[in-house]
Chains A and B, each alone.
Chain A
Amino acid sequence: MNESDKTFPHILLDNAQKYGDRRPAIREKGYGIWQSFTWQDYLDQVKDLALGLASLGFQRGDKMAIIGDNRPHLYWGMAASQCLGGVPVPLYQDAIEKELYYILDHSEAKFALAEDQEQSDKLLALKKEIPRLEYIIYNDPKGMRNYDEPFLLRYSHVQELGRKFGKENPDYFMNEINKGRPDDVAIICYTSGTTGNPKGVMLLQEAVIEAAKGFTGFDGLTEDEEIMAYLPMAWIGDHAFCYAQALVTGYTINCPEKTSTVVHDTREIGPTYVFAPPRIWENWLTQVMIKMEDAAWIKRKMFHFFMNVAGKVEKLRMGHASVPVGLNVLYQLGRFLVYGPLLDNLGMRRVRVAYTAGEAIGPELFEFFRSLGVNLKQLYGMTESMAYISLQKDGDIDPETVGTPAPGVDIKITDRGEVTYKGPGNFAGYYKNPEATKETLIDGYIQSGDAGYITERGHLKIIDRAKDVSKLTNGTLFAPKYIENKLKFSPFIKEAVAHGMNMDYVAAFIDIDYGAVGNWAERRHIAYTSYTDLAQKPEVYDLINNEILRVNKSLSQDNQLKEAQIKRFLLLHKELDPDDGEITRTRKVRRGFVAEKYGALIDALYTSQESVEVDATVTYEDGRTATMKANLKIENAENF
């Protein structure tokens, strides 16, 4: 069969034939041990499940919602629905019922595959309102003994039905796979959307496959790679790296035991290929910093000394300058004493290629990992492009840009400064939303909504969301995210929201990192009772003020942005939370919503008030709400 006519089910068949029982396709940690499933197991599992679904009436074009943590069974569910010409619709596992309702209803899902009792409960509650949902299949039977709904089936039971169905219809599976065409919809990914309802991005088989091939070709990935599957399955990044590329290349994905064991499990696997959004890289850095603060003074001294060396070396390497012999000797010594053991602790010693994407990464954070010797690179992608727009090339890295256009992608910048692109991974349209499709897809070019430009080196530089870039009253360019990212490099700052559109100066909300600041406070014997209490301690204000000075200094060196330094700030009384709608599930600030909810706080930042009263509702994970009152201090920061 023609290579370009292949769909994922065909690729799965190829892999099973090529690697059979010789290579692991998926590992899952269960009962403290890594359990391997070979490519043959992968195929067998998918086949039984697909036939089981068929016996329950799964038709071509049917949608199957998939919800849960990264589990082999859920990846098999994706493949199984594709085998039958169906479309998987992955959902965010921490979404609350209200959010799931929209997507389940809009996607017209007939089947749902849930990981466990927690997810099944949400689906069961929703099924009453969405009669179109016919079957709910769950994998983990724990706690499910008292459920007797006839439409609720256990995964293994469906596979049993499949084996029976397969005996009666021996050709069914292959026939259905062969009906698959490259222009079938492979997946619908709902974008979390910073505004309005989520939109269902339809990606065709050929787009997903071509984008995956583009990636793996670009970095020369082989079937020997190991990657951790720990990011939400509903995120395009996970689909690209742990499903599409894994199938196309034949490498192994590793599902951790629990979300809480990811760090430990990563260390056991020692992945060679790492993909993480900036907030995860930030977490890793924070962890290192906290542990270093607690380490013996000699280790701490060594760490700071050698990180300083590494920083210098990385600056030279990035500028293509040669490293002086003395410095190089120190760097090699540092590798032996500090960088190696540190990477080993993070489970990154074997990393060949690492990517960060999803949001801009702070240059300092980026350089930290690169200087340790991790080949960390940025990629710029969107759900609409199968995460495939631009990539940083080995040896041509500029921390301020997102690299050059990926193979096969054409990038154009509009007169308004918006980035538009056309590439193999481009989507086919938003599901049941032609108006939005028309607005986004113009002459085959996707309007990214991001403001950016191409630098002299031919790199794409993204400044901010096009609609968020604005000016201060004095005419200075105000790119909030640029400032926020600089703030967030501090291990003590978890989130930040900068304000300044049509204002006289820049002011900011800061969310402290409870773990890092709490640890800092404990070591200084500062007693606190809660997040709110901790955030309002004068010592914590001083701590954060110092971080803001650092950012202001760095901004003062940029001719375009030096007038956009932060003048006033306050520490929020709670963490910004997707359950409260303040940030998206992928942790992007929803500016409009925040501006509305905290309007009084923003107003206070632009007066000379020294504190402000806040009265806010919080939503708990089960959907209940509560109000809290707090008095927030406002402080001024020095400008340069």
Chain B
Amino acid sequence: MSQKTEPILQMEAIEISFGGLKALDKVSLQVYPGEIMAIIGPNGAGKTTLLNVINGVYTPDNGRIFFDGKERPLKIKPHHVAAMGISRTFQNLALFKGMDTWSNIMVGRTKKMHAGFFSQGIYWGMSQKEEIEHREAVEGIIDFLEIENIRKQPAGMLPYGLQKRVELGRALASEPKLLLLDEPMAGMNLEEKEDIARFILDANEEIGYTIALIEHDMGVVMDICDRIVVLDFGNKIAEGTPDEIKSNPKVIKAYLGEAEGGGE
């Protein structure tokens, strides 16, 4: 992963305010193909807002966004962003609780289904071929995430750590060009964190996914990420490799605080 290649996602001077509060202030960042990038920062730094801007939930006031070499309008529907190849998971789980694991993951394939209602109904021709293809993909993900034993269990009845895994599975199912993970390890115990970290690394190294994630566990971030962007009160205060970030005085200040405090 060299910095010279074209970024898959480029954000230039993004600004967004909620009422009088500037949630993001001229934030620019790039995500390069094949990397795992982390967005970190103290609470309220604007991390989730940034993800929401990327996938179209929020419309920024100013700035430009380029995805996959093309400029993207600032105002866009989230499902159009998904169709462009960006999928995400949520900080608070957003699974269909009554549906089983398998179906939840299959939902991630929706954008890839083309057969019509009628031909799907009679399971014939292209829809048959498509069905086989999608089932294969979903089973591949189930195998990848090692959740064979919960294939047929309603997602709402699964323990939290497994629900997170299913959600990751659903995001993978759309075979995104860019995968956004909002705190994939929040609320997990050490073992569950290690599992998820391994799946994220495998998804990146074995399948080749580009991943941008938000995470609070610094140990994990430093271990698995190639590059880190640090936000504080809506500003990007640092960017670099884990080693650079660790020794950056601004980052230390943001995390440990300083007597004067306050935002800009």
Residues of A within 8 A of B (CB): 30-33, 142-143, 145-146, 257-258, 260-261, 264
Contact yes or no, A261 B149, CB < 8 A:
yes
Chain B residues with CB below 8 A from A258, complex form: 146, 148-149
Q: A30-B143, A31-B136, A32-B139 are in contact. Are A260 and B205 (CB under 8 A)?
A: no
Excluding A32-B151, A142-B144, 9 further A-B contacts by CB distance (< 8 Å) are A31-B136, A32-B102, A32-B135, A32-B148, A33-B139, A145-B206, A258-B146, A260-B148, A264-B152
In the complex, whether B202 has a CB less than 8 A from a CB of chain A is: yes
B174-223 residues at the A interface, CB under 8 angstroms: 198, 202, 205-206
Residues of A within 8 A of B142 (CB): 31-32
- In the assembled complex, 11 residue pairs joining A and B whose CB atoms fall closer than 8 Å, in A order, are A32-B139, A32-B142, A32-B151, A33-B139, A142-B202, A142-B206, A143-B206, A145-B205, A145-B206, A258-B146, A264-B149
| Interfacial residues of chain B within 131-158, with CB under 8 A of chain A in the complex | 135-136, 139-140, 142-144, 146, 148-149, 151-152
The answer on a CB contact under 8 Å between A31 and B205 is no
- The proximity string for B residues 107-139 relative to A, scoring 1 for CB distances below 8 Å and 0 otherwise, is 000000000000000000000000000011001
Contact B206 A261 (CB under 8 A): no
Please measure, in the bound complex, the distance between the C-alpha atom of A433 and the C-alpha atom of B202, giving whole angstroms. Answer: 46
The smallest beta-carbon distance between B87 and chain A, in angstroms, is 22
Q: Is the interface of A mostly helix, strand, loop or mixed?
A: loop
Contacts of A264 in B (CB 8 A): 149, 152
Q: Is the CB of A260 within 8 A of B149?
A: yes
CB neighbours of B144 from chain A (8 A):
142
Residues of the A chain whose Cβ atoms lie less than 8 Å from the Cβ of B140: 31
B202 near A261: Cβ-Cβ < 8 Å: no
The 6 closest A-B pairs by CB, nearest first: A31-B139, A260-B149, A32-B139, A257-B148, A261-B149, A258-B148
Least CB distance from B197 to A in Å reads: 13
Interface residues on B, range: 10 to 19
A142 vs B143: C-alpha distance in the bound complex, in angstroms?
A: 10
A261 touches B205 (CB 8 A): no
* Residues in chain A near residue B148, CB distance under 8 A: 32, 257-258, 260-261
Residues of chain B within 8 A of A30, CB atoms compared: 143
Query: Closest residue of chain A to B144, judged by CB?
Result: A142
How near does chain B come to A117, taking the closest CB pair, in angstroms?
Answer: 10
* Cα–Cα, bound, A582→B121 (Å): 58
Of A31, A146, A260, A261, most buried by chain B (CB within 10 Å of CB) is A31
Q: With a CB–CB cut-off of 8 A, which chain A residues contact B143? A: 30-31
> Inside 8 A of B198's CB, which chain A residues have their CB?
143
- What are the residues of chain B within 8 A of A31 when measuring CB–CB? 136, 139-140, 142-143
A27 smallest CB distance to B (angstroms) = 16
Closest A-chain residue to B151, C-beta based?
A32
Residues of chain B contacted by A142 (CB below 8 angstroms): 144, 202, 206
With A30-B143, A31-B139, A32-B139 already in contact, the answer to whether A143 and B202 are too (CB < 8 A) is yes
Contacts of A145 in B (CB 8 A): 205-206
* Residues of chain B contacted by A257 (CB below 8 angstroms): 148
Contacts of A33 in B (CB 8 A): 139
Expressed in whole angstroms, the Cα–Cα distance for A145 and B144 within the complex equals 14
- Distance in angstroms between the alpha carbons of A142 and B144 in the assembled complex: 8
A30 to B144, CA, bound (A): 12
Interchain nearest-CB distance for B115 vs A (Å): 21
Residues of A within 8 A of B102 (CB): 32
The complex places the Cα of A30 from the Cα of B148 at a distance, in Å, of 9
Interchain CA distance A143-B202 in the complex, whole Å: 7
Q: Which residue of A lies closest to B198 (CB)?
A: A143
Q: Which residue of chain B is the closest to A144 with respect to CB atoms?
A: B206
In angstroms, Cα B149 to Cα A264, docked, is 9
Q: Which residues of A contact B136 (CB under 8 A)?
A: 31
Q: Which chain B residue lies CB-closest to A32?
A: B139
Q: Could you tell me the distance between the alpha carbons of A260 and B142 in the complex, rounded to whole angstroms? A: 14
A537 CB to closest chain B CB (Å) equals 24
**A33 to B142, alpha carbons, bound, how many Å?**
12
Shortest beta-carbon distance from B183 to chain A in Å: 24
Residue ID in chain A nearest B135 by CB atoms: A32
Which residue of B is nearest A262, CB measured? Answer: B149
Bound complex: CA of A251 vs CA of B207, how far in Å? 39
Q: In the assembled complex, which residues on chain A have CB atoms less than 8 Å from the CB atom of B206?
A: 142-143, 145
Chain B residues near A146: list those with CB within 8 A: 205
A257 and B149 alpha carbons, distance in the complex (Å): 9
- Smallest Cβ distance from A307 to chain B, in angstroms? 28
Residues from chain A with Cβ under 8 Å of B151 in the complex = 32
Which chain A residues lie closer than 8 Å to B135 at the CB level? 32
Rounded to whole angstroms, the CA-CA distance of A260 and B151 in the bound complex is: 11
Chain B 19-43 against A: per-residue CB contact (8 Å), 1 yes, 0 no? 0000000000000000000000000
Residues of B within 8 A of A261 (CB): 148-149
Bound: A32/B148 CA distance, A: 8
* Chain A residues positioned under 8 Å from B152 (CB to CB): 264
- Closest beta carbon of chain B to A138's beta carbon, Å: 15
